Chains A and B, each alone.
Chain A
Amino acid sequence: MKKLSARRRHPLAAVVVLLLALAATGGLYAAFAPASKAQADETSQSLTIKEGKKLYEVGCASCHGTGGKGSSDGPSLVGVGAAAVDFQVGTGRMPASTSQMAQIPRKKPVYTQAQIDQLAAYVASLGAGPNVPTKQQYGPEGADIAKGGELFRTNCAQCHNFTGKGGALTKGKYAPSLEGVDPKHIYEAMQTGPQNMPSFPDTTMSEKNKKDIIAYLNAVNGDETVNPGGLELGGLGPVSEGLFAWIFGLGALIAVAVWVAARTAKAKKS
């Protein structure tokens, strides 16, 4: 000890003290900081869940029951996951005015995205389910549009039409048009299978498959999509096009023929 104190005025003493101090600070930070950050995360997470629970009790519990257990008016939400909540509330399908109609339509969302996130966090806390996808999962980067088209025609086109224009199902149900639907919501619909749509989980349709499908839809049914043939007439194919040609094309020809024959060329109008 004496030896140490004797060297306290050594020119390098300050450097050694500084190094020791730095090491101590770094070590302490390494030991405590992540823990406190995780703690902060947990509190904000539990706060979100708490807020979500409040929203749930006001807006959802009357049909889906307390704690998401379901009732005669709405299914159980245990295990549907955050993705299902983000889809159903984000597309305005939930809250629904009644459960008696054939199918609950898409409408203007009632909740803000922040409230939807809180609701989703609460429902996700009831049981494990698919998470809300990230932009990296549904964004267009690295997607294979041609493969997406193949996958869309195999899995989706039977109900949603070849370019996602939608179509009819039984007893008033329908596959909605996918025009102008947020890619995130398309991804969530494939993951969770809302209403009568079957689900396409990652185990049978990989994340990459879903990304390709979304890129294909954006290519054939986006705002900037070019239709080489002009009027697409609902994208329904040759039947609607033939019907249009027969009714409006031939109709116009007949109207012109009648007009030409009805006008007299005589100088003296009779």
Chain B
Amino acid sequence: MSSQDIPEENLPAEQDHAHGAVSVADEANPFADPGLPPHEHRIQDIDERAAKRSERVVAMLFTVSMLATVGFIASYVTISPDTSVYIFPIGHISALNFALGLTLGAALFCIGAGAVHWARTLMSDVEVAAERHPIAAPAEVRAQVHADFKEGAKESALGRRKLIRNTMLGALTLVPLSGVVLLRDLGPLPGTSLRHTLWAKGKLLVNMNTNQPLRPEDVQVGSLTFAKPEGLEEADEDFQNEIAKAALMIIRLQPGNIKDKRELDWSHEGIVAFSKICTHVGCPISLYEQQTHHVLCPCHQSTFDLSDGARVIFGPAGHALPQLRIGVNDEGYLQALGDFEEPVGPAFWERG
């Protein structure tokens, strides 16, 4: 559309200035505020048919939204949760979820698109200027507030009656303490539970896969096995709390490959048992590389060398993985020779 098609009054005012001469209206203020540019109309403001078209588009968007909502309810009622459809780039997905997402998305989008189109093409777009004012209140108002405050302070006599002032300050200081005391209800104190696990002298090492006690000949070099203490069953109420401390990682090394003297002493024919709980923030850690004997924590990449006393060789962990001293009992089953010597898992204030 060229500017010829638009009525004269809609075009910006021509700036009248003499050719070849710079005219300054006000010598004292050469950078005077030019004010707002003249308002320009939209096609919908000028052409009633265009306005009608916009109205129909907005109404159509709102109608599509209504239909989509009906479709949402209909697909919730009719589509079984087990039905699956193949949608090209995504693959096999749930038909119900796809239909619900599509219809709800369309319903919300059409409301938004309709509202935006309505506001941009039909609602008034006349520019309105609001003048700025200084933030500070006028001098007389401020003087009045100062006077009122002084008067109030004098009438309350806080400066004179020191007993009232001091007891009031005391009361206000003590009130928040009741909230602090309630924090005690967050749970029982841990006591010594962080220092002990279910492992004790004579407890058998039970294979987590088969729920059977392990024998030394079951554990081959290069294999990885997870064990729990005898007597701890998944159905137990405190299973999660106990396994979170007692989980064991069992591997077998060639005794000649064990570099750490204590690790060798606490092993049985090269079978070593380490805590599965990372000493950094307590993630279960069992990304075991059987050729390097390194174990990697998936959370923050702490790496421990299981052939060297589970020493930290990389990452943020602060100390080595605790090792469980193991041996065999008279019947030839692997057993613990005591609890862990140090608390398992991450450090805490009183750990020492």
Q: Given contacts A226-B84, A268-B11, are A173 and B289 in contact (CB under 8 A)?
A: yes
B116 touches A198 (CB 8 A): no
Q: Is B183 an interface residue (CB 8 A)?
A: no
Chain A residues with CB under 8 Å of B226's CB are: 154-155
A260 touches B224 (CB 8 A): no
> Nearest CB to that of B121 among chain A residues?
A265
Query: How far is B207's CA from A159's CA once the two chains are assembled, in angstroms?
Result: 20
Query: How far is B91's CA from A231's CA once the two chains are assembled, in angstroms?
Result: 8
Chain A residues with CB under 8 Å of B288's CB are: 198
Q: Which of A16-24, A113-121, A204-212 is near enough to bind chain B?
A: A204-212
> Nearest CB to that of A225 among chain B residues?
B92
B1 touches A226 (CB 8 A): no
Q: Is B240 an interface residue (CB 8 A)?
A: no
B284 touches A158 (CB 8 A): yes
Chain B proximity of A267: nearest CB distance (Å): 4
Per DSSP, chain A at the interface is loop
Query: How far is B150's CA from A176's CA once the two chains are assembled, in angstroms?
Result: 78
Q: Is B239 an interface residue (CB 8 A)?
A: no
> Nearest CB to that of B125 among chain A residues?
A265
Query: How far is B93's CA from A228's CA once the two chains are assembled, in angstroms?
Result: 5
A267 touches B220 (CB 8 A): no
Q: Is A195 an interface residue (CB 8 A)?
A: yes
Q: Is A229 an interface residue (CB 8 A)?
A: yes
A170 touches B6 (CB 8 A): no
Please count how many residues in chain A sit with their CB below 8 Å of the partner chain's CB atoms: 37
A198 touches B210 (CB 8 A): no
Q: Is A100 an interface residue (CB 8 A)?
A: no
Chain A residues with CB under 8 Å of B284's CB are: 158
Chain A proximity of B99: nearest CB distance (Å): 12
Chain B residues with CB under 8 Å of A112's CB are: none
Chain B residues with CB under 8 Å of A205's CB are: 209-210, 225
B217 touches A170 (CB 8 A): no
> Nearest CB to that of B226 among chain A residues?
A154
Q: Given contacts A226-B84, A230-B97, A267-B40, are A170 and B120 in contact (CB under 8 A)?
A: no
Q: Is A203 an interface residue (CB 8 A)?
A: yes
Chain B residues with CB under 8 Å of A224's CB are: 92
> Nearest CB to that of B5 among chain A residues?
A267
Size class of the B contact interface (CB-based, 8 Å): 35 or more
> Nearest CB to that of A173 among chain B residues?
B289
> Nearest CB to that of A151 among chain B residues?
B209
Q: Is B323 an interface residue (CB 8 A)?
A: no
Query: How far is B210's CA from A209's CA once the two chains are assembled, in angstroms?
Result: 8
B219 touches A230 (CB 8 A): no
A170 touches B220 (CB 8 A): no
Chain A residues with CB under 8 Å of B217's CB are: 203
Query: How far is B41's CA from A56's CA once the two chains are assembled, in angstroms?
Result: 86
Query: Which of B94, B210, B286 is within 8 Å of A204, CB to CB?
Result: B210
Query: Which of B93, B220, B294, B301 is within 8 Å of A201, CB to CB?
Result: B220
Query: How far is B292's CA from A154's CA once the two chains are assembled, in angstroms?
Result: 22
Query: How far is B212's CA from A206's CA once the two chains are assembled, in angstroms?
Result: 11
Chain A residues with CB under 8 Å of B294's CB are: 170
Query: Which of A225, A230, A231, A266 is within 8 Å of B40, CB to CB?
Result: A266
B10 touches A267 (CB 8 A): yes
B223 touches A201 (CB 8 A): yes
> Nearest CB to that of B218 among chain A residues?
A203
B94 touches A198 (CB 8 A): no
Chain A proximity of B163: nearest CB distance (Å): 58
B291 touches A204 (CB 8 A): no
Chain A residues with CB under 8 Å of B210's CB are: 204-206, 209
Q: Is A105 an interface residue (CB 8 A)?
A: no
Q: Is A200 an interface residue (CB 8 A)?
A: yes
A170 touches B222 (CB 8 A): no
Chain B residues with CB under 8 Å of A265's CB are: 42, 120-121, 125
Query: How far is B314's CA from A36's CA once the two chains are assembled, in angstroms?
Result: 63
Q: Is A58 an interface residue (CB 8 A)?
A: no
Residue from B94, B289, B296 with most neighbouring chain A CB atoms (10 Å): B289
Chain A residues with CB under 8 Å of B40's CB are: 266-268
Query: How far is B223's CA from A269's CA once the two chains are assembled, in angstroms?
Result: 74
Query: Which of B91, B97, B289 is within 8 Å of A169, CB to CB?
Result: B289
Chain B residues with CB under 8 Å of A204's CB are: 207, 209-210, 214, 218-219, 223, 225
Chain A proximity of B158: nearest CB distance (Å): 53
Q: Is A72 an interface residue (CB 8 A)?
A: no
B97 touches A229 (CB 8 A): yes
B93 touches A226 (CB 8 A): yes
Q: Is A167 an interface residue (CB 8 A)?
A: yes
Q: Is B290 an interface residue (CB 8 A)?
A: yes
Chain A proximity of B11: nearest CB distance (Å): 7
Beyond A195-B291, A198-B251, A203-B220, 17 additional pairs, beta carbon < 8 A: A151-B209, A169-B296, A170-B292, A193-B222, A196-B291, A199-B222, A199-B224, A200-B224, A203-B217, A204-B225, A229-B94, A230-B97, A230-B98, A260-B120, A265-B42, A265-B121, A268-B6
Kindly list the 6 A-B residue pairs having the minimum CB-CB distance in the complex, ordered from nearest. Answer: A198-B224, A203-B218, A196-B289, A228-B94, A226-B84, A267-B43
18 sample A-B contacts, Cβ–Cβ < 8 Å, listed by A number: A158-B286, A169-B287, A198-B222, A199-B223, A201-B220, A203-B218, A204-B210, A204-B214, A205-B209, A205-B210, A206-B210, A230-B87, A230-B101, A265-B42, A267-B6, A267-B42, A267-B45, A268-B1
